[in-house]
């Protein structure tokens, strides 16, 4: 009787093993747990991002995070963008296996069409993966296909938005030109090659010594609450600015915007972001206005 029971138990175990192996091969139980990525964000010193758009490197320095440019130089990177990237990578969890063979990589964009991300802690490579195609399940659930670089397996990373991984240096640079607090502005001075004038705030706005069109001033300032651009200029400024606007405040340091408009250039530099120069005609037209814009309308 005992022998019979042992044989039955052994048979059940063997059958379970066979079913498990068959299921594994069919992919029906390819649901995984755990983490694909384990990054100690406090120890990260370098991040390399490679994609069809080019190569980007983020490096930790004594000055903070810096991002590489095409010309080989580096610019300050936004720390919150780097931290957000590392946190997103750390959140990757393999929901299930999508493929086991290299022939399938192209379908999920985890081949050369994907984005390879390498993370270094000191000199040690601690994460190396290819971020592939992004997809949606319904209207609120999303996923991204990922592949550890040294593996053939492709995983579905649920709730990981791979499209947010920046592939260009501009994605990590500080695009802020200025942020104006309208309520505390007391004066705006415009210094152009052919004219100079000012807007002064009292009980009303005045254009030099004449009451200004208050609606025009309010509209102008409303468009400058937050000015941002990704149109960076990486050449050298070899001349003095042609146009200057200075914003004075009652409770904050003044903001100066310098414009370099020679030979068709639309270059901008502000005291709010001294590390960057921008080449953006849309921003130029928003900031640099003629005196007639603020002149009182005639009845």
Following DSSP, what letter does each residue of 202-264 receive, concatenated? Answer: SSSEEETTEE--HHHHHHHHHTTSSEE---EE-S---S--SEEEEEEESSS--EEEEEE-GGG
- 100 and 203 assigned to the same domain: no
User: What integer pLDDT is reported at residue 34 of this predicted model?
Assistant: 58
CA 185 to mean position of chain CA atoms = 30
User: What integer pLDDT is reported at residue 157 of this predicted model?
Assistant: 94
User: What integer pLDDT is reported at residue 142 of this predicted model?
Assistant: 93
* Counted domains in the chain: 2
Task: Classify residue 35: in a domain, yes or no.
Answer: no
The CATH number covering residue 197 comes to 3.30.1490
User: What integer pLDDT is reported at residue 94 of this predicted model?
Assistant: 79
Task: Classify residue 299: in a domain, yes or no.
Answer: no
Task: Classify residue 162: in a domain, yes or no.
Answer: yes
Task: Classify residue 263: in a domain, yes or no.
Answer: yes
- 180 and 165 assigned to the same domain: no
User: What integer pLDDT is reported at residue 299 of this predicted model?
Assistant: 56
Question: pLDDT per position in the chain (299 positions), as tens?
Answer: 445 554 444 454 444 444 344 444 434 334 444 567 889 999 999 999 999 999 999 999 998 999 999 999 999 999 999 999 999 999 998 788 999 999 999 999 999 999 999 999 998 999 999 999 999 988 888 999 999 999 999 999 999 999 999 999 999 999 999 999 888 999 999 999 999 999 999 989 999 999 999 999 999 999 999 999 999 999 989 899 999 999 999 999 999 999 999 888 899 999 999 999 999 999 999 999 999 999 987 65
Range(s) of the domain holding residue 192: 176-294
User: What integer pLDDT is reported at residue 283 of this predicted model?
Assistant: 96
Q: Which of 135, 169, 203 is the last residue of a domain?
A: 169
Q: What are phi and psi of 113, to 5 degrees?
A: -85, -10
- 213 and 153 assigned to the same domain: no
| Helix, strand, or coil (residue 81) | helix
- 163 and 180 assigned to the same domain: no
- 64 and 124 assigned to the same domain: yes
User: What integer pLDDT is reported at residue 175 of this predicted model?
Assistant: 96
Whole-prediction pTM: 0.80
Of 71, 28, 99, the C-alpha closest to 233 is 71
- 159 and 180 assigned to the same domain: no
- 201 and 114 assigned to the same domain: no
Q: In the block, which residue shows the tokens 């340091």? A: 253
How many CB atoms within 10 Å of residue 129?
24
DSSP-derived secondary structure for 21-51: HHHHHHTTT-B--S-S----GGGEEEEEEEE
- 100 and 215 assigned to the same domain: no
What's the Cα-to-Cα distance from 235 to each of 53, 69, 167, 281, rounded to whole Å? 21, 12, 21, 17
Burial-class residue 117 by CB neighbours within 10 Å (0-12, 13-18, 19+): buried
Angle at alpha carbon of residue 90, lines to 37 and 127, rounded to 5°: 40
Q: Which of 138, 154, 169 is the last residue of a domain?
A: 169
Task: Classify residue 24: in a domain, yes or no.
Answer: no
- 163 and 262 assigned to the same domain: no
């Amino acid at each position: 009787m005992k022998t019979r029971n042992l044989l039955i138990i052994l048979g059940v175990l063997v059958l379970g093993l066979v079913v498990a192996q068959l299921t594994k091969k069919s992919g029906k139980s390819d649901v995984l747990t755990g983490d694909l990525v384990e990054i100690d964000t406090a120890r990260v010193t370098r991040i390399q991002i490679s994609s069809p758009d080019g190569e980007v490197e983020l490096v930790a320095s004594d000055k903070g995070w810096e991002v590489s440019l095409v010309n080989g130089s580096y610019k300050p990177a936004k720390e919150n963008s780097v931290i957000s990237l590392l946190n997103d990578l750390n959140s990757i969890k393999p929901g299930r296996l999508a493929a086991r063979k290299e022939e399938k990589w192209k379908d999920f964009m985890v081949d050369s069409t994907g984005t390879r991300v390498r993370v270094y802690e000191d000199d040690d490579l601690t994460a190396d993966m290819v971020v592939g195609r992004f997809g949606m399940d319904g209207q609120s659930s999303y996923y991204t296909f990922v592949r550890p670089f040294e593996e053939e397996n492709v995983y579905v990373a649920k709730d990981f938005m791979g499209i947010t991984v920046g592939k260009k240096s501009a994605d990590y640079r500080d695009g802020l030109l200025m942020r104006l607090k309208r309520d505390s502005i007391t004066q705006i001075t415009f210094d152009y090659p052919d004219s100079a004038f000012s807007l002064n705030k009292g009980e009303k706005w005045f254009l030099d010594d004449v009451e200004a069109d208050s609606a025009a001033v309010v509209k102008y300032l409303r468009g400058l609450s937050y000015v941002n651009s990704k149109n960076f200029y990486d050449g050298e400024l070899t001349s003095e600015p042609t146009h200057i606007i200075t914003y004075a405040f009652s409770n904050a340091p003044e903001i100066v915007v310098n414009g370099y408009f020679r030979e068709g250039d639309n270059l901008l530099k502000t005291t709010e972001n001294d590390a960057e120069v921008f080449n953006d005609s849309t921003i130029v037209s928003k900031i640099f206005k003629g005196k007639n814009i603020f002149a009182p309308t005639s009845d």
